[in-house]
Structure 1
Amino acid sequence: MADVMVVEDDTAIREVVSYQLTRAGHRVDAVGDGVAALEHFRASDPDLIILDLMLPGLPGLDFLRIVRDEASVPVIVISARDSEPDRITGFDLGADDYMTKPFSVRELMARVQV
């Protein structure tokens, strides 16, 4: 199916999301910080990025800016930053979708399938 990059510093969330994506037949590249995410992004060609915003190394919004300068890959943000201004900033920077934590993994999987 799709090559999905999961960028999430919370190990439990990263593992659950990666497991569900793999179970659905996707190939997953999972990383826990923004710097590693940028390296993996540039070395691969993901079909989708699932991105947390509060990352060590390189913040998620900065990563999103770079991705948008270099590619048109779809990006789904999953973040604890749940205020309207945070969500609007994410969309303004090029996020295709924005889910707030806590989130339903089933709902995320439904959004990935679209």
Structure 2
Amino acid sequence: MKPAPTPPIPLGTHALAFWGKHYRRLKRAGVLTRADAESFALLCVVWGKIQELAAIPAMEADFRTPIQLDRLLKQYHAYAKQFGLLPRERRQSGMEITPPEKKDEFDL
């Protein structure tokens, strides 16, 4: 499988990894179109910022980081819903990103 195309905006390390991980399967599922690339790139940026903040060691006097993280998580959920990256949205839309697991002779 060839790699995902270059994002329309520059992405950091974590954001670029998120782009590479999800771009192709969202494209195959018909969720991601050329018109949506910028919005998906913004979702990747939000994911990258969440990862950067989560890596900061917790300090007792630091009140900004948890607030920033909370706001970024709200943004992430808003964007992720649009692309069917959350389980409930996938079920409601009937979109299945991953193929169903093969069952054995006992239907398990």
For the aligned pair, the TM-score class normalised by the smaller chain equals 0.3 to 0.5
**Which structure shows the bigger proportion of residues in helix conformation?**
2
Larger Rg: 2
Question: What's the TM-score, normalizing by structure 1?
Answer: 0.33
Question: What's the TM-score, normalizing by structure 2?
Answer: 0.34
